[in-house]
Amino acid sequence: MELKEEFLRLLLKKDALRIASSTDSLFVFKSGRKSPNFINLRAMTDGESQAGLKKAYATFIKQLLDEGKIGDFDFIFGPAYAAINLACLACEGLYEMYGMNKRYLYDRKESKGYGDKGMDDFIVGSGHFTKGARILIIDDVITTGAKKLESIEKLSLLGDHTIVGLVLAVDRQEKMGDDTHIDPRSAAGNMASMGIPNFSILDMESIFLMVKDSLKSDIKQAWMDYYDRYGIVKLRD
């Protein structure tokens, strides 16, 4: 719980977890869903934020390894663009805090087409890849899971490999789909059904429980209503 609480305080301090001020100012997602909250790790651009992200991800990954929830790995893959720096920070944190020396990978939106193409044509760092390598995927938030599936497809360009898991900052615990077409499956559950275990430092249920007493009554109700419609969990005061 200490890691969760510390990480949540950081998200709030850096405005990476934004909470609507009223029901007239809800956040509209690409899916059309209107949410009383929004997670945006891209807001965390200062040194304190980067240090906090490094510590949180490295600590959480080490816990997962120690508990046997993920297997050991050779690379951390951060899908472009949001997770590139997260992969870098996680590698740095694992080395600084635990002496674990891992490499990172990230994808390009298009082929580089020049220079050392063997090293970083489509996936930067791939020149160090060897057949059968083990890869941990890292990202910020999972909502529908569509981008995670794209990342898995890109990794197929490397050749034979094993994905040991997916580590996230926040699982929104939402059903897949959009505003009107709601899939009963969650994105995280769908990934697990594909054989990819996934773990988040925080999920929306734990966030709600830690902040609900500070919410205005209309926002608290909007949060619960949102999850009654789109959530795989029910949030209650």
Between CA 136 and CA 90 the distance in angstroms is 11
Quote the crossing angle between the two packed helices 47-66 and 84-98, to the nearest 10°. 70
pLDDT value at 115 more than 50: no
Cα distances (Å, whole numbers) of residue 1 to 8, 129, 202? 11, 36, 10
| Domains, in order of start, for the chain | 2-230 (3.40.50.2020)
As a dihedral over the C-alpha atoms of residue 80, residue 171, residue 137, residue 2, rounded to 10 degrees, the angle is: 110
pLDDT in tens, 30-75: 889 999 999 999 999 999 999 999 999 999 999 999 999 999 999 9
> What is the per-residue burial (b if ≥16 Cβ within 10 Å, else e) of 170-185?
bbbbbbbbeeeeeeee
- Backbone φ/ψ region at 165: left (φ over 0), alpha (ψ -120 to 50), beta: left
For residue 89, CA distances in Å to 9, 23, 74, 149 come to 19, 36, 15, 23
Which of the residue ranges 33-37, 64-68, 140-144, 189-193 would you say has the lowest mean pLDDT? 140-144
Dist CA 118 CA 155 (whole Å): 15
Residue 135 pLDDT more than 90? yes
Q: Is the predicted pLDDT of residue 143 greater than 80, yes or no? A: no
**Nearest to 104, CA basis, from 94, 91, 114, 116:** 91
Q: Which amino acid is at 57?
A: Y
Give the predicted TM-score (pTM) of the model. Answer: 0.91
Report the chain's mean pLDDT, rounded to a whole number: 91
Calculate mean pLDDT across residues 13-37.
95
